[in-house]
Amino acid sequence: MRKELEQKLVQRWPTWFHVNGDSRETAMPRGFTHGDGWFDIVWRLCEDLEPLVAEVELETGVPFEVCQVKEKFGGMKFYTNFHSDAISERIGVAALESRRTCEVCGQPGSQIAGAWSRTRCKEHAGS
């Protein structure tokens, strides 16, 4: 994902995304390793997670952190340092949405099998 889109997420949720952190503790210094088309999915997911994260942080005293956001097998993977059932459910819904959303442009897409599985619209099927 383009750096300017990454920055929007990091500025909005600075305690969640440690893009300048130690790469031995988090993969976020590599950035968001997926296409721009999933930006809206990640943004909506983070908005959905806010009240759930606040609740879990209050209960556990552990600050929430996103450890990695990437494309894998044509879908978005969103790894965090802890889960609740509700957090896991929201992440799963976002992952399913990514599997029908073009990773390049964000338009409706489908999975394309090949050497690498990816999710693309008709326009970006060859990219």
User: Going along the chain, which residue ranges are E strands?
Assistant: 66-72, 75-80, 110-112, 118-120
Write down the pTM of the prediction.
0.93
Task: Encode pLDDT of 18-51 as tens digits.
Answer: 888 888 888 898 899 999 999 999 999 999 999 9
The helix, strand and coil proportions of the chain, stated in percent and rounded to the nearest 5, come to 40, 20, 40
Task: Encode pLDDT of 91-108 as tens digits.
Answer: 999 999 999 999 999 999
